[in-house]
Structure formats: C-alpha cells, structure tokens
Amino acid sequence: MTTAATAPRRPGDLAKWLFVAPAALYMLLFFGYPLVRNVVMSFQDYTFATYFTGEAPFNGLENWRAVLANELFGASLWHTLLFTVGSLAGQFGIGMALAVFFHRRFPLSGLMRSLLLLPWLIPMVVAGTVWRRILDQETGVLNEALQALRVTSAAVPWLSSPDVALLSVVLVNIWIGIPFNMVILYGGLQEIPAELREAAVLDGAGPLRNFFSVTLPLLRPVVTVVLVLGFMSTVKILDLILALTNGGPAHSTETLGTLTYQLSFLQLDFGQGAVVGNVLILVSMVFAVVYLRANRGGVAR
Amino acid sequence: MHHHPPPARHSACAAACAAALVLAGAGCAAERDPNVYTVMNSSTDEPYHTWDQEAMDSCGERVGVEVRQLSVPADQLVPKALRMASSNALPDILSLDGSDLPQFAAAGGLVPLEDLGLSTEDLSEGALSIGSHGGEYYGAARAVNSLGLFYDADALAEAGVEPPRTWAELRTAAAELTGGGRYGLAISALATEDGVYQFLPWLWSNGGDERELDSPESVAALEFVASLVEEGSVSSSVVNWTQADVNDQFVAGNAAMMVNGPWQLPVLREHPELDWAVTEIPVPGAGDTSVAPIGGTTFTVPVNAQDPGRERVAAEIVACMTTPEAQLDWATKGSNVPVDPEAAEGYRAAVPELAPFVDQVRTARSRTEHAGTEWSTYSQAIGTAVQAALTGAASPREAMERAQARVEAELEGRS
C-alpha cells in the first residue's frame, strides 16, 4: 500500500478518483449498507409484522440477550469451531499431500489431477444430496461397502446418530475442499525454484527435512491464503449442512450459519437472526484482518 | 411479476425501491391493470400448475376478468409475500398454507372474507378451523390433507397380519413385518415441519396437547414412537427422512407400512406393482378417536389499501374457486380431500382407495387452532424433542419437559 495523496491537486488526480468511484460506490451499496443494516437490525424488534407496518421498534439488547440465553447458540458456536478446525485440518493435510505427490510428474498425473478436481465442480447442494444417500444407514453405499469388506460389523449411523453426524458432515466437507487446497498449493509448489531443494539434498537433507525446512517456509504466503480463504468459506457453512442433516439429528450439526437461517427464515425473528449473523461476520472479520496482515508482509518481503 | 406498466415508470419505481430498500413502505406498488388479477401460489409442479390455471381461467371468465397465476416454490412463498407486503405489492389473491395464515392475519395483512361477502354458514368445522384466526375467517380452503397409515397389502397378507388399528396392534404388526432388510414402519422424524406434522397424530390421539408437552399423555405419545425405533421396527434413520423420503422407502420395499399423506399418490401410481392401501392412523386403545393434523392451503385476499374495490372482485374469484364442484374437481385431480362435506362424499365415491382420508379429515385438527401465530415456536420445540428422544440423546420425559420449558420461556420473552 502506498500513502495516498492528501488532496487532488492536479487534473490527473480527479481522473484517479473517478476510476475508484464505481468500485467504492459498489462496495458501499452492496457491502457497506447490508452490513450496517444487519447491525442495526440486531437491536430492533424486527418480526413478521414489520413487513406490513414498516415499524421495527428498537429494543436495546433484547435480541442479544435472547440469543445468548439460547442454549442452541453455545452449541452452534462449538459445532462451528469443531467443523471449521476439522474441515481445515483435513482439507489442508490431504490437499498438501496430494499437491506434493503430483509435483513429481509421472505418467497420467495430469489426468488424475484433473479428475481430483471433480468435487470442486459439483454444486454444494448436489454434493450434499448425493452424500446423504451414500451415508444412509441402511441403504447407503458406504455402509454396504464397509460391511462387505468386514471393516465394521454393524451399519454405522453416519447421519442418524447425534454422536457421529458432525464427523460425517466434516468428512464430506473435507472431500469437497481437497481440490481447492490441492490446486492452490500445487501452484505454489511450482513457483519454488528446483535449485533450492537440490541444494538442500546436496547438503544432506532427507525428504522430510527438505519439506519442512525448505518447501514449507517458502510456501508460507500460499499456505496463509489457502487457510484463510478456506476458513472463511467453512465458517459460514449453510447449504451443505441443510442438504445433509438440516442441522439435526437433535441439533448435533447446528452451526452459526444454520442457526441464523433457522431464526430468520423459519421463526421469522429477523432481529435475533441478525445477532447470530453479526457474530458470524465478526469472527470472519478477525480472520480477514489476519489475512490482510499476512498478505502485506508478503508484499513487503 | 406479470404486470406490465410503462417501462419508464417501472424503472423509476424500481430505482426508488432499490434506494429505499426493504422498509420503504408505501408508494412503490405498480399500478395494476383493472382487468387482470393475480393469484400467487406454490403450484410450481406440473400438472398442478396447469390444473390451477384451468380453474382460474374458468373463474376469471365467470367474474369477467383475466386471472394470472404466479407460482413460487413452497418454501419461498412466505419470504416472497413478505417482501411484496413491504412494498404494498401483494397479489390480489394469496394462497397460503394453513399454518402461515395466522401470522399474515395477525399482522393485519388479510381481509376477513365475510367482509367481502363470503358466507361461513355452510362451512365444515375443518374448513373453518384451517382458514380462521382470532375468530375471523380469512382463508377459503379448497381441499385439505391429513395423514394416514399406508400399508403394503401383499406384505401384510404374506405375514398374516391385519391392518393395525390400535397402538398395540401396530407394535406387533411392525415387529412381525420387520426382517430381511425391511422395516415394519416408516415415518418422518425430521426436526422441521415434516417430522412435527407426523408426530401430531400420536400426540393428539393420545389426548396430549402441544400446550402441555410435559403432560403424561404427551410424554406417553413420544415414548410410544421412541419405543418403535428402539425395538428396531422403525429405522433410526427416520430422523433424517422427509415425507418424500418415507414414500421412497415404502416404494422401494424397505418398509411395509408408512405414515404419509394423500399427496404421495402421483408417485405411488407410478408403481402399479405395489399393492398398497390406506387406513386411519392407529389409536392408543380400541374405540379411541384418531386425531391427525389437517393441512393444506387456503385462498386469502390481502389488504389492498390503494384500490379496495379489487378486494371484492378477488373474493368473487376465491368463492368461485372453492365451490363444492370446484373442490371435488380439484381434490380428485390432486388427491386431497374436499372441505365441503357433500363434495367429500362425492370424493369418497370417486377415489375409493383414499376414502380413509375423508374420515381422518373429519376429526382432524388444525395446528394453529390454539397456537395461532406462535405455531413455529411449538413446532421447533416438538421437533427438537422428537429427535432427542429418537436418537437416545434424552429420555422422552426429559425431552418433553425441556420442550415445554423452552416454549414457556419463548412465549414469556415475547409478551
């Protein structure tokens, strides 16, 4: 970032501002306004009747109090944390392993790599619906396969037990997220000059040492981008969970995203829905700042 | 939208609306063509859309106007109607689900149909209960649905089991029919409206009540359903099944009996190899009355402050679309039960295989009869309780006590 001129003095400056104006206007209208509106709404008694009367009286901290007293909120926060950490760890770990694997070219590696992209191309709702069938306790392919291979003796209640459902949802989300992680990390690996690793090998570094002391540090900016983008798309998850479990069974897969949806669009209590939405935005914003800082460091280097 | 105002005006209005956004209120309703009336419904699927259009065309001809149909998916109907309400642009006639009607009526968005010249004298109790809120009649129902027990007649005959009529018989029958990859009974126990709708027959037939979820009768109803899952006669996957999934399981032969509604008929008819029949939902003891929820949509007339004259014409269209003849025609096509008692008898003769639904509807109760605008609060609490008990996360008693406490807390927080 460069320091901006304090005031437009030369005619060229005006042109610069005119170039910025559409983007700024767009941001204000489509990001700034809804954000502010959402914050304001969380302090309003914004319900069904509001649409008819146009009246949404301010009710102070009433919505916040109600949401914080709701035991589902705490549970959703916890599930969101587990879901996000679990998904990111799985996506990143497997994505990285695959990226390193494909980095060493071998016959058909290009074809296999493109096949692995498929989960990324499938719409989330379609993936959710298909996985719901695969994971069905009685008629699902997964249980049939596991039992045929004698891995498990009884059918695993993937989506029908509150103890397993969250894990199942995380596993599906990992499957969806692997391609994104793999592609970006693979791209990052291509950027690393081969000489550096060759030099490390000559110095006697083994493959593990080579990876952790040479590849990973050089990959750091890419890793940050992947993790932060992954975080932001994971923490707000809604469609996948709605398609897979609808937040159930017994609210075991309820996350902040599904809770907002439930409060706003099923209970039609938009004020309380806005509260949860704000919490979600706040959490995302913390990580957005982390991302910006990390990026700025990358440019300065 | 089907309106076609002059383009310039339209875009100016759209821009103003965009600027003022949701809460702007009055002033942005497009000027309506005096001879064109709009009905908003959720008949997005064929052949329902065409059938509806035929009914509207014939009524439009009788009233002397053109009736246009605006169909949106069922789950988007209420949000869309709310957006339209905020810009005073609700359609002339709004087809609302019975459980959504109280909220629209309480918000002052609907005109009492009696004020528009529709009589409630000849209406059945069911029709009145599904279309009323606070003692006023707002929605005219054409046909309603309820739940029944579908069974695979071949499977029952093979096992030597009679269609069950009591809970005890159902328990035995379901156990005997279970085996070889097949469950005795399939139900929907989703936490959303699908599952709650299906729990109500057990709750109500046992004398339980959504207002007293922790009463012994209410708890016993949940204990009964949970025991069926525990005994293995009902799959534990039912916590993830919609009513359409339940039907799929039944059609695929994975369940010998299922609780479902008449709207599954089109799918069932695609499988002529399946010899199915329907009976009323079993009751706790012989001689008890089977009380199931009544479901369905009603035609309502939203308030039109700018042009109240349109309300009266809209009511004429509603009256025309809900005559006994129109009801019978629609019900026979769409496999629902007419609300008019005489039309219902005609239906019994026309569609004998669904006759049990006529009896079920006669004793059925509306979900919003007591709950009114708070139904979603009750519904969420019941859905949570059912899932907690069926997955073993809580005992039925704990689950119902928690549900009752939650409802009380939420209702208190609102008053």
B329-378 residue pLDDT tens = 999 888 889 988 889 999 999 888 889 999 888 888 889 888 888 898 89
φ/ψ of B295, rounded to 5, equals -130, 165
Q: Between chains, do B240 and A160 touch, taking CB under 8 Å as contact?
A: yes
Q: Between chains, do B391 and A132 touch, taking CB under 8 Å as contact?
A: no
B141, B127 Cβ separation under 8 angstroms: yes
Give the count of domains, chain A.
1
Which residues, 6+ apart, have CB-to-CB distance to A109 below 8 Å? A102
Proportion of chain A above pLDDT 70, given as a percent: 94
- For chain A, the maximum distance between any two Cα atoms, rounded to a whole number of angstroms, is 78
Tell me the pLDDT band of B21, cut-offs 50, 70 and 90. very low
CATH number for the region B7-145+295-363 comes to 3.40.190.10
B268, B290 Cβ separation under 8 angstroms: no
Chain Cα centroid distance, residue A17? 34
Distance CA B177, CA B180 (A): 9
Cβ-nearest to A246 among B21, B190, B390: B190
| CA distance to A196, A212, A298, B87, B217, per residue, from A220 (Å) | 15, 11, 9, 51, 62
Which residues, 6+ apart, have CB-to-CB distance to A238 below 8 Å? A255, A257, A258, A260, A261
Tokens 């309380």 — which residue? A272
In this predicted structure, which of A4-8, A53-57, B52-56 has the lowest mean pLDDT?
A4-8
If you measure CA to CA, which chain A residue comes closest to B407?
Answer: A70
Residues of B in contact with A266 (CB under 8 A): 192, 376, 380
Q: Minimal Cα–Cα distance from B172 to chain A, Å?
A: 22
Residue A192 token pair: 């690393």
The answer on pLDDT for A22 being more than 50 is yes
Length in residues, chain B: 415
Q: What is the DSSP string of A219-286?
A: HHHHHHHHHHHHHHHHHT--HHHHHHTTT-STTTT--HHHHHHIIIIIS--HHHHHHHHHHHHHHHHH
Q: Tell whether A267 is within 8 A of chain B (Cβ).
A: yes
Residue B51 token pair: 């059938």
Residue at A93 is within a domain: yes
**b/e per residue, B81-104, with b = 16+ CB within 10 A?**
bbebbbbbbbbbbbbbbbbbbbbb
**b/e per residue, A65-77, with b = 16+ CB within 10 A?**
ebbeebebbeebb
Q: What is the DSSP string of B208-241?
A: -BTTBTTSHHHHHHHHHHHHHHHTTSB-GGGGG-
Tokens 């035929």 — which residue? B54
Let me know if the fold of B7-145+295-363 is the same as that of B148-292+369-414. Answer: yes
Residue at A11 is within a domain: no
Distance CA A265, CA A244 (A): 19
The answer on pLDDT for A2 being more than 90 is no
Q: Tell whether A19 is within 8 A of chain B (Cβ).
A: no
If you measure CA to CA, which chain A residue comes closest to B402?
Answer: A71
Distance CA B79, CA B22 (A): 12
Cβ-nearest to B393 among A52, A132, A250: A250
> Checking DSSP bridges between strand B148-152 and strand B139-141, what pairing results, if any?
unpaired
Q: Tell whether B381 is within 8 A of chain A (Cβ).
A: no
pLDDT of residue A174: 95
Q: Between chains, do A161 and B391 touch, taking CB under 8 Å as contact?
A: yes
Q: Tell whether A265 is within 8 A of chain B (Cβ).
A: yes
Residue at A8 is within a domain: no
Q: Between chains, do B384 and A251 touch, taking CB under 8 Å as contact?
A: yes
Cβ-nearest to B235 among A54, A137, A248: A137
Residue at A16 is within a domain: no
Residue at A42 is within a domain: no
pLDDT of residue B104: 93
The answer on pLDDT for B5 being more than 80 is no
Residue at A233 is within a domain: yes
The answer on pLDDT for B207 being more than 80 is yes
Q: Tell whether B286 is within 8 A of chain A (Cβ).
A: no
Taking only the tens place, the pLDDT of each residue in B102-125 is: 999 998 999 999 999 888 887 877
If you measure CA to CA, which chain A residue comes closest to B102?
Answer: A48
Cβ-nearest to A157 among B23, B106, B236: B236
The domain spans of chain B are 7-145+295-363, 148-292+369-414
Distance CA B130, CA B375 (A): 13
* CB–CB contacts below 8 A, A to B: 99
Tell me the pLDDT band of A7, cut-offs 50, 70 and 90. low
B237, A155 Cβ separation under 8 angstroms: no
The answer on pLDDT for B16 being more than 70 is no
Q: Tell whether A248 is within 8 A of chain B (Cβ).
A: yes
Q: Where does residue B38 fall: left (phi above 0), alpha (psi -120 to 50 degrees), or beta otherwise?
A: beta
Taking only the tens place, the pLDDT of each residue in B119-147 is: 888 787 778 888 999 889 999 999 899 99
Closest Cα partner for A169 from A289, A258, A83? A83
Distance CA B304, CA B142 (A): 23
Residues of A in contact with B103 (CB under 8 A): 48, 268
Residues of A in contact with B413 (CB under 8 A): 66
Q: Three-class SS of residue B260?
A: strand
Residue at A49 is within a domain: no
- Identify the burial level of B359 via C-beta atoms within 10 angstroms of its C-beta, where 0-12 means exposed, 13-18 middle and 19 or more buried: middle
Distance CA A262, CA B333 (A): 34
145-184 of B, contacting A, C-beta below 8 A: 181, 183
pLDDT of residue A9: 61
Q: Tell whether A195 is within 8 A of chain B (Cβ).
A: no
What CATH number is given to the structural domain containing A276? 1.10.3720.10
Tell me the pLDDT band of A14, cut-offs 50, 70 and 90. confident
Residues of A in contact with B21 (CB under 8 A): 33, 37
Chain Cα centroid distance, residue B18? 34
Q: Tell whether B267 is within 8 A of chain A (Cβ).
A: no
pLDDT of residue B31: 67
Q: Between chains, do B86 and A54 touch, taking CB under 8 Å as contact?
A: yes
Tokens 């004398």 — which residue? B207
Residue at A111 is within a domain: yes
Q: Minimal Cα–Cα distance from A78 to chain B, Å?
A: 18
DSSP-derived letter for residue A215 is I
Sign of CA dihedral B169, B171, B174, B176: negative
Residues of B in contact with A136 (CB under 8 A): 237, 240
What angle in degrees, to the nearest 10, is found between the helix axes of A270-300 and A71-103? 30
Residues of B in contact with A249 (CB under 8 A): 191, 239-240, 387, 390-391, 393
The answer on pLDDT for A8 being more than 80 is no
Q: Which ipTM score applies to this complex?
A: 0.78
Cβ-nearest to A160 among B83, B85, B237: B237
At the fourth CATH level, the homologous superfamily of domain B148-292+369-414 is Periplasmic binding protein-like II (3.40.190.10)
Domain that holds residue A194: 64-300
B383, B364 Cβ separation under 8 angstroms: no
The answer on pLDDT for B50 being more than 70 is yes
Distance CA B409, CA B30 (A): 43
Cβ-nearest to B237 among A33, A66, A138: A138
φ/ψ of B152, rounded to 5, equals -85, 100
**b/e per residue, B226-257, with b = 16+ CB within 10 A?**
bebbeeebbbbbbbbbebebbbbbbbebbbbb
Residues of A in contact with B254 (CB under 8 A): 138-139
